[in-house]
């Protein structure tokens, strides 16, 4: 299955971002800590035109902490400031304005040298759908301002939000890109809920999820779903389906003739993966970039 999605409102959102760049001091690129590369829009460098950037790995509470540390080191080595946060609970969110001012220390120093009180830092938050931009903004602002939801496409327009007296943020709709050159990117985005389920084949996505879980987190998968026999060969489709059917039997997803309802069990697998019910799971690591 090839997953592609680029609705018209995303073309409009890209244009709106480019129009606002002259007002922006830095960009805050929000990534999903479980899939930092797959959730990074490859068009972002072109869109932002070299603006200073702070990379924020959100949903860190759902990601493998050791893998997240590896990603922080990876981005730092590449010359990007990076931090991991959990916008749902607020963990480390307050460090974002501090890191932003560190990145812009030269600009702030110039203002001070001219005898001008430094104005509030102006940041632009960018990220793919459902990565948690609105939740993060509400945390930073300390009040409910931006609409939130557990589905992509909640933020419809742009708005400025004050974060205390030292930062102003511009929220933007999530932007995907026209084509996923690597089909695995599409699957990872689908697994984490960044793409609307209405356009997906849920069984295909769950199939891929089971394959990834069996490779990286079989113990957690076995414990959560009560299955004991891992696939003998990850490249054998029948073996992956067999594991899905085992999970379905454990969860009572049966239809006439004692057959497993693969659509129903696929929904269960994806919901529990996304919610963190299987534990802290990362779906890609810096090592994957070597292959």
State the Cα–Cα distance between residues 196 and 190, nearest whole angstrom: 8
Handedness of CA 61, 40, 157, 56 (dihedral sign): positive
Tell me the pairing of strands 259-260 and 254-255: antiparallel
Q: What is the dihedral of CA 5, 234, 58, 269, to 10 degrees?
A: 80
Question: 204 among the known binding-site residues?
Answer: no
List the Cα angle 220/221/222 in 5-degree steps.
95
Q: Is 222 annotated as a binding residue?
A: no
CB 136 within 8 A of CB 60: no
Give the pLDDT of residue 270: 96
What class, spelled out in words, does domain 201-290 have in CATH?
mainly alpha
**How far is Cα of residue 196 from the mean position of the Cα atoms in its chain?**
14
The encoded tokens of residue 282 equal 């990362």
Residue with the two structure tokens 């699957």: 187
pLDDT of residue 46: 79
Provide the CB-side half-sphere exposure for 175 (13 A, CA).
Answer: 25
User: Tens of pLDDT along 121-164?
Assistant: 999 888 888 898 888 988 998 877 655 444 444 444 566 788 88
Residue in the block written with tokens 């104005």: 119
DSSP count for the chain of H helices, then E strands: 11, 8
pLDDT at 23: 87
User: Would the annotation count 58 as a binding residue?
Assistant: yes
SS3 sequence of 177-232: CCCCCCHHHHHHHHHHCCCCHHHCCHHHHHHHHHHHHHHHCHHHHHHHHCCCCCCC
What would the pLDDT profile of 208-228 be if each residue is shown by its tens digit?
999 999 999 999 999 999 999
* Residue numbers of the chain with a pLDDT score lower than 50: 4-5, 148-156, 291
Cα–Cα distance, 27 to 211 (Å, whole number): 35
Q: What's residue 152's pLDDT?
A: 42
pLDDT of residue 220: 97
Which pLDDT value is given to residue 265? 98
Tell me if 131 is assigned to a ligand binding site: yes
Q: Which of 259, 232, 252, 256 is nearest to 243 (CA)?
A: 232
- On whether 60 is known to bind a ligand per the annotation, the reply is yes
Beta strands per DSSP E along the chain: 26-32, 53-58, 81-84, 121-127, 159-163, 167-171, 254-255, 259-260
Q: Whole-angstrom Cα distance, residue 171 to residue 136?
A: 10
The pLDDT, as a whole number, for residue 156 is: 45
133 is in an annotated binding site: yes
Residue 238: per-residue pLDDT: 97
Is 76 marked as binding a ligand? Answer: no
- The answer to the question of whether 134 is labelled as a binding residue is yes
Cα 237 off chain centre by: 28
Closest CA to 127 of 47, 206, 202, 207: 47
Predicted local distance difference test score (pLDDT) of residue 92: 95
Domain ranges of the chain: 8-171, 201-290
Q: Which CATH architecture group holds 8-171?
A: 3-Layer(aba) Sandwich (3.40)
Q: Is 162 annotated as a binding residue?
A: no
């Amino acid at each position: 299955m090839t997953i592609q999605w680029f609705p018209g409102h995303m073309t409009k959102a890209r244009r709106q971002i480019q129009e606002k760049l002259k007002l922006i001091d830095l960009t805050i690129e929000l990534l999903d800590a479980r899939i930092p590369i797959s959730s990074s829009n490859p068009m972002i460098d072109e869109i932002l035109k070299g603006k200073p950037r702070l990379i924020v790995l959100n949903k860190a509470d759902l990601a493998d902490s050791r893998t997240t540390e590896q990603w922080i080191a990876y981005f730092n080595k590449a010359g990007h400031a990076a931090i991991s946060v959990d916008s749902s609970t607020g963990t480390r969110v307050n460090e974002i304005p501090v890191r932003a001012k560190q990145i812009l220390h030269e600009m702030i120093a110039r203002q001070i040298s001219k005898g001008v009180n430094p104005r509030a830092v102006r940041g632009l938050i960018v990220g793919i759908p459902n990565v948690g931009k609105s939740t993060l903004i509400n945390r930073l602002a300390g009040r409910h301002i931006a609409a939130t939801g557990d589905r992509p496409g909640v933020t419809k327009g742009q708005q400025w939000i004050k974060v205390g007296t030292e930062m102003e943020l511009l929220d933007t709709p999530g932007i995907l890109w026209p084509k996923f050159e690597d089909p695995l990117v599409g699957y990872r985005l689908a697994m984490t809920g960044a793409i609307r389920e209405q356009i997906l084949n849920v069984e295909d996505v769950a199939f891929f999820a089971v394959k990834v879980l069996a490779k990286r987190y079989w113990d957690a998968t076995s414990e959560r779903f009560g299955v004991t026999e891992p696939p003998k060969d990850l490249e054998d489709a029948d073996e992956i389906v067999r594991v899905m059917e085992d999970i379905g039997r454990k969860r009572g997803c049966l239809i006439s003739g004692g057959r497993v309802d693969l659509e129903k069990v696929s929904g269960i697998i994806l919901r529990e993966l996304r919610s963190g019910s299987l534990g802290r799971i990362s779906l890609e690591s810096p090592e994957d970039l070597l292959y």
